Amino acid sequence: MSNIFEEIGKKVVSEIVHTGAEVVVDIAKKGVNELHDIVRDKEPVPLPPALNHEKEETK
Domains contained in the chain, number: 1
Kindly state whether residue 7 falls inside one of the protein's structural domains: no
Q: Are 27 and 21 in contact (CB under 8 A)?
A: no
- Provide the residue type at 11 as one letter: K
Per-residue model confidence as pLDDT tens digits over 10-53: 999 999 898 999 999 999 999 888 888 877 777 777 777 776 66
Kindly state whether residue 6 falls inside one of the protein's structural domains: no
Lowest mean pLDDT among 5-9, 12-16, 19-23, 55-59: 55-59
Kindly state whether residue 11 falls inside one of the protein's structural domains: no
Per-residue model confidence as pLDDT tens digits over 29-39: 998 888 888 77
- The rounded distance, in Å, linking the Cα atoms of 7 and 22 is 23
**Residue 46 CB partners (closer than 8 Å, separation 6+):** 52
Q: Is 51 helix (H, G, I), strand (E, B) or coil?
A: coil
Kindly state whether residue 10 falls inside one of the protein's structural domains: no
